[in-house]
C-alpha cells in the first residue's frame, strides 16, 4: 500500500487516496455496516465464524487515527477503520477485506507471530492478493500502467512496504522474507477456492 505501516502487533492498510479530513466516525461506521452486506465480506466473516474465530459485535469499528493509515488489524481485538483517512464506500470495503484476511490468518495459524518477518510477509502477500488490492483497475488509478505482471508486482510492492514498516523487520529482512515465502503464500487462497 502506498502509505502502509505496521504496528508490529498486526498490520495496517493505507488508502489508495485519502483526503485531509476524511469522514466522521459515524459516517464511517455506516459504511462499515454497508460493507458487511457485500458478498466477499460476508464470505470472509462466515469463514472466520466457522473456524471458531471470536468475532464480537464491534470486531470492525471506525475510529479517528493519528497515523496516515486507513485501517489495521489489531491482534486479539479486531479491525479498526480510520475514518479520517477514507472518503468513499469502496475504500472502506477494500480495507475491511484486506484486514479480514489478516484476521483469518491469525485465527487459523497455530503460531502466527507478527514480529516474525516471514509470518508477517505471508499474511501481507495473501491479504494484498486475495482482497483485490492489486486488481488492474486499482493499480491504474494509482498510476501504475504496467500491462503484464502488474498483479504480482503490486502484491510484492505493497507487502514490502508493510513488512519493512514492522519494527522487527529491516528492509533487507522484509525483502528476504517475501522472497522466501512467496510461492507458498501467493498460492494459498484459503478460504477461497481460488483467488477472487
Mind telling me the catalytic residues? 99
Quote the strand ranges of 42-148, DSSP E: 60-63, 71-74, 78-82
- Mapped onto helix, strand or coil, the DSSP state of residue 73 is strand
In a 13 Å sphere around the CA of 184, the CA atoms on its Cβ side amount to 10
- Mapped onto helix, strand or coil, the DSSP state of residue 72 is strand
CA gap 20, 185 in Å, rounded: 35
> Among candidates 186, 164, 187, which has minimal Cα distance to 176?
164
Amino acid at each position: 500500500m502506498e502509505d502502509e505501516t505496521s504496528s508490529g502487533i498486526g498490520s495496517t492498510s493505507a488508502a489508495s487516496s485519502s483526503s485531509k479530513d476524511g469522514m466522521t466516525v459515524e459516517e464511517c461506521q455506516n459504511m462499515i455496516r454497508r460493507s458487511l452486506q457485500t458478498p466477499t465480506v460476508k464470505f470472509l466473516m462466515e469463514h472466520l465464524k466457522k473456524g471458531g474465530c471470536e468475532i464480537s459485535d464491534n470486531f470492525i469499528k471506525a475510529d479517528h487515527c493519528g497515523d496516515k493509515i486507513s485501517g489495521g488489524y489489531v491482534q486479539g481485538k479486531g479491525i479498526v477503520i480510520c475514518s479520517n483517512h477514507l472518503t468513499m464506500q469502496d475504500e472502506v470495503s477494500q480495507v475491511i477485506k484486506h484486514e479480514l484476511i489478516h484476521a483469518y490468518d491469525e485465527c487459523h495459524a497455530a503460531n502466527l507471530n507478527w514480529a516474525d518477518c516471514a509470518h508477517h510477509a505471508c499474511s501481507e502477500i495473501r491479504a494484498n492478493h486475495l482482497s483485490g488490492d492489486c486488481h488492474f483497475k486499482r493499480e491504474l488509478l494509482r498510476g501504475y500502467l504496467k500491462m503484464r505482471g502488474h498483479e504480482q508486482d503490486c502484491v510484492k510492492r505493497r507487502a514490502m512496504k508493510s513488512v519493512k514498516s514492522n519494527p522487527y523487520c529491516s528492509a533487507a529482512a522484509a525483502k528476504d522474507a517475501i522472497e522466501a515465502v512467496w510461492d507458498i503464500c501467493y498460492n494459498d487462497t484459503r478460504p477461497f477456492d481460488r483467488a477472487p
